Each structure stands twice: as C-alpha cells, then as structure tokens.
Amino acid sequence: MSEIKKVVLAYSGGLDTSVILKWLQDEYHCEVVTFTADLGQGDELEPARLKAQALGVKEIYIEDLREQFVREFVFPMFRANALYEGEYLLGTSIARPLIAKYLVVIANRCGADAVAHGATGKGNDQVRFELGAYALKPDIKIIAPWREWQLTSREKLLAYAQQHNIPIEQKPGQPSSPYSMDANLLHISYEGRILEDPWAAPEEDMWRWTVSPEVAPNQPTTLELTFVKGDIVAIDGQTLTPAQVLTQLNKIAGAHGIGRVDLVENRYVGMKSRGCYETPGGTVILKAHRAMESLTLDREVAHLKDELMPRYASLIYNGYWWSPERQLLQQLIDTSQVNVNGKVRVKLYKGNVIITGRQSKTDSLFDTSIATFEDDQGAYDQRDAEGFIKLNALRLRIAAKLKQR
C-alpha cells in the first residue's frame, strides 16, 4: 500500500465517498485529491467542497462538464436512439465515461499514482469507471474500497463516519433517505429500500423531477424542435446550447408528468436490479428524433440503425464507451445523421409525448406526388406492383407446391 502516494477520488460529498476519503487517508497513508464532476446534479457541489476541506484535502477539483456531457456524450447517444432492454435511457451509464476521463486527466495533472471510486462490487459503475480509466491510461492503478473493506452496510458506514468525525447529516439509527440516488442533466435514478421488492409500488413523494400524470396540467404544451444533423439546436425558434436544450426540456416535460420509468434490468455483473428513473427531457428527445429520422432517413439505413441499436446500448450500459467497437458504430451513426435536419412539433400532455408534425425543407424523403391517395399523374405505376409481388412470392409458391405433392 505504501507505493500509493497520491490518489484522485471521484467525490460526491455523500456518505460513501466521504467515508472513502478518510479510509484512503488511514489505510493507504496517502494524499487524497478530490474530483467532483458538475453534470447538472444541482446544489451538491459547494457542500462537497466544504466537506473535502474539512477532511484536510488540499487539492479539490470541481469541473463544470455540463455542456461537454450533453454535447459529446448524451447527444451522440440519442443519435442512435439508444434504449437498454427497450426502456432504460442510460442516464447513469452515459455519465460514467466522462467521469472516468477526468479522473485520468486530473491524475495526470497532479501527478497522482492512482484513482479511486465509490462504486460497490455488486454494481455496473465499477465496470464503467475502470474500463474507462484503463482505456485512457492502461497502467493506471485503481482503488475500489468496496471490494477491500469490511464496511458492508449503511449502518457500518454511519458508525465509521461518527467515529472519525466525518461531517454528515445523519447519525446511526436515525431514519435515512430511503433510496440510493444518482442525478445529472439527463436523469435522476432511484434504487434500494422499498424498490428492492419488485412488487412494491414506488411512493409518490419519491419522484423529484416530474409530477404525477394524474395531476399534470389539463392543457397541453406544444413545442417546435429544430434538428441539425440529428441534434436539437433550438426550441420554438430559440437557439440553445446542448445543455440548455436538455435543461429546458426537463423543466417543461417534467411539469407534464413525462419521463417516469420503473423497470427490472439485467446488470452486467449478472444479477437483476430494480430501479426507477426520471428522464423527462430525454424522453422527448428520443421521440422527436425518431420522428425526424422517419422523414429524412432511407428505409434500409433506418432499419439497420434499429438492428444495431441494442448492441450500441449494451456497449454503453456495460461500460465500453471508449472501446473501438463503440467508436466504429458511432462513426456509422453520425454519418447517418448528416441529413437529419428539420423541425418536429410535439405536444406534451399528462405523461405523453405526441408527435403532431414533422418537416424538412432540405432533406425530406417524403414525396407527396408519389404517396398521395389522389391522382398522382403517373408518378407511380401501380401495375409494377404485380411483378414485384410475384417475384417476392416465388420461393413461397415453390415451397407450397412441394408441400402439396
């Protein structure tokens, strides 16, 4: 352990990482540098700084990564229409490669020997952080306290914190927050406690970003979303940065009860896990992006993207953002988005995202003269369909005749 002189800790300021900070100081006898990524999680940043200072940390890094997070990670993922197991919009998964990147950046900057994280040995995040770190710095040393120490419960963590005068808001034996939560600009997640019973319904006061659809406004909100190369660049004609787009959509969609998901997912380590997620803005982006693609993507390109999407989503979920296969898929996906330009009109109403229009003045493949039910003036010769059908039916007819014999 003495070979570790300085370690960069991914630090949130919560119970787990505050205990880890002190544990690293005591067990490794090393200097701890804290890194906190501002991904839009809210008012946790300054308290994290103050707690790190109280624990004697001299180098404290708090990086505002909100624009980079949405521009370089969230938006590229939405170009693929990524959904893990058909439901999960990957809000936690997509944040981890960026945090891993900056753990390495700061380790290089301050000359640290190792990086550390607070992910448990049961979850996906340990894989995501470490695969990312190894991909970017192959010889990096990684410390994962949950795989080393004996503090195997929340009560033990609280007792350790009290024993070592670690500033926390909660004492052993007192009621605690019922959920383990993770938040960033894309989503907020809830796990643990009552949710560990897949039959138990989440309590209404658990949700923080969305109102219940039952009490959402009785009047819908209609938005016009402008796409350039697959990314939303404006809302109702107002040009916005990527982070501003997501922030505004979160607020508007959350007020209409949009974006709640309750699911049981398959973790990469092998177990099933029940989680609840709020992704209001992301839910709107996914629906609107698919509508924009429906107008501007070639049929076979669109179908190929749909075939590749589950693989792409699994790569992100399992921590392979920095892998060559994800990067190769991203090049294909980004190439497909060159002509995904135009506007989509959406109506938000009581938990629903309803597409009411889509338009592309430069890249629409919708040809009214051919698709019309009225007189097409010979643009489409319906007699051609007979030969088309017969040729496609040829193998079916041959097989059917064989069965008849």
Kindly report the CATH class assigned to 182-297+339-359.
Answer: alpha beta
Of the candidates 66, 96, 128, 326, the residue annotated as catalytic is: 96
Instruction: Specify whether 298 is catalytic.
Output: no
DSSP letter for 94, please. Answer: G
Q: What is the pLDDT of residues 166-213, one digit of tens each?
A: 877 655 555 556 688 899 999 999 999 899 999 999 999 999 999 999
- Distance CA(104)–CA(331), nearest Å, equals 25
pLDDT score, position 324: 98
Residue 291 clears pLDDT 80, i.e. is over it: yes
The predicted model gives 273-281 an average pLDDT of: 97
End-to-end CA distance of the chain, in Å?
79
How far is 350 from 284, CA to CA, in rounded Å? 13
CA-based diameter of the chain, in Å? Answer: 87
CA angle, residues 75, 76, 78, in degrees to nearest 5 = 65
Gap between the Cα atoms of 31 and 5, Å rounded: 6
d(CA 316, CA 95): 10
Average pLDDT, the chain: 95
Active site annotation includes 96: yes
pLDDT of residue 179: 84
At 169 the pLDDT is 65
Q: Which of 174, 97, 91 is nearest to 128 (CA)?
A: 97
pLDDT for 142: 98
Q: Which residues contact 190 (CB under 8 A, 6 or more apart)?
A: 179, 180, 181, 202, 206, 275, 276, 277
Strand partners, 232: 227
150-168 pLDDT, tens digit per residue, is: 998 888 998 999 999 887 7
Is residue 26 part of the annotated active site? The answer reads no
Q: What is the pLDDT of residue 44?
A: 74
**CA-wise closest residue to 91 among 70, 112, 108:** 70
Q: Which residue in the list 180, 294, 323, 364 is annotated as catalytic? A: 180
Across 376-393, average pLDDT: 94
Alpha-carbon gap, residue 117 to 250, rounded angstroms:
28
Q: Distance from CA of residue 363 to its chain's centroid? A: 29
% of residues, the chain, pLDDT over 70: 97
What residues does each domain of the chain span?
A: 6-69+93-176, 182-297+339-359, 376-404
In whole angstroms, what is the distance from residue 330 CA to residue 178 CA? 38
Cβ contact 120:17 at 8 Å = no
Half-sphere exposure for 339 (CA within 13 Å, toward CB): 14
Instruction: Tell me which DSSP letter residue 257 carries.
Output: T
Give yes or no for residue 404 having a pLDDT over 90.
yes
pLDDT tens across 304-355, in order? 999 999 999 999 999 999 999 999 999 999 999 999 999 999 999 999 999 9
Q: Which amino acid would we find at residue 398?
A: I
pLDDT of the residue at 170: 58
In 3D space, the residue among 249, 212, 206 whose CA is nearest the CA of residue 231 turns out to be 249
Q: Is the pLDDT of residue 1 over 50?
A: no
The yes-or-no answer on residue 180 being catalytic is yes
Structural contact between residues 19 and 155, judged by C-beta atoms closer than 8 angstroms: no
In tens, the pLDDT along 203-261 reads 999 999 999 999 999 999 999 999 999 999 999 999 999 999 999 999 999 999 999 99
Q: Going edge to edge, which strands form the sheet with 180-183?
A: 180-183, 188-191, 272-278, 260-266
Q: Per-residue pLDDT tens for 41-63?
A: 877 788 899 999 999 999 999 99
Point out the catalytic residue in the list 12, 18, 93, 125: 125
The arithmetic mean of pLDDT across residues 284-304, rounded, is 98
Q: pTM of the entire structure? A: 0.94
Query: CATH code for 6-69+93-176?
Result: 3.40.50.620
